[in-house]
Amino acid sequence: MSDWRETRVEEIKGLIRAADPAIVEEAKWRKPSNPDGVPTFSLDGLVCTVETYKDKVKVTFAKGASLPDPASVFNASLTAGTRRAVDLGENDVLDEDAFVALIRAAVAANQM
């Protein structure tokens, strides 16, 4: 996967680490169709996952429905009961400050 998605994933990982350096990255849910697994980010519980698809990179927040999102960063899974997601295409612009605020809010929610 040497393309825009790889660059986008690295950008997202950098923002997650910048939001809270104590967040731990692990690969989970390995299977034959995805031997590398799904990158997960946890601190006192699951914060988010990052998945790569043909046309987008999806960041799913485990407790996204309960997080404040004044900048409307969430644009997917908006009707899910617990989670919310951010889908990013090749040319989509991510509000980095608002994304970092979401990561921090997710960590805070885990620590309650």
**E strands, the chain, in order:** 24-28, 38-42, 46-52, 57-61, 84-88
pLDDT, tens digit, 9 for 90 and up, residues 25-75: 999 988 888 888 899 999 999 999 999 999 999 999 999 999 999 999 999
Give, in order, the Cα–Cα distances in Å from 101 to each of 20, 27, 35, 71, 88: 10, 24, 31, 10, 17
pTM for the whole structure: 0.93
Burial (CB count <10 Å: 0-12, 13-18, 19+), residue 11: middle
Domains and CATH numbers, the chain: 4-110 (3.90.1150.200)
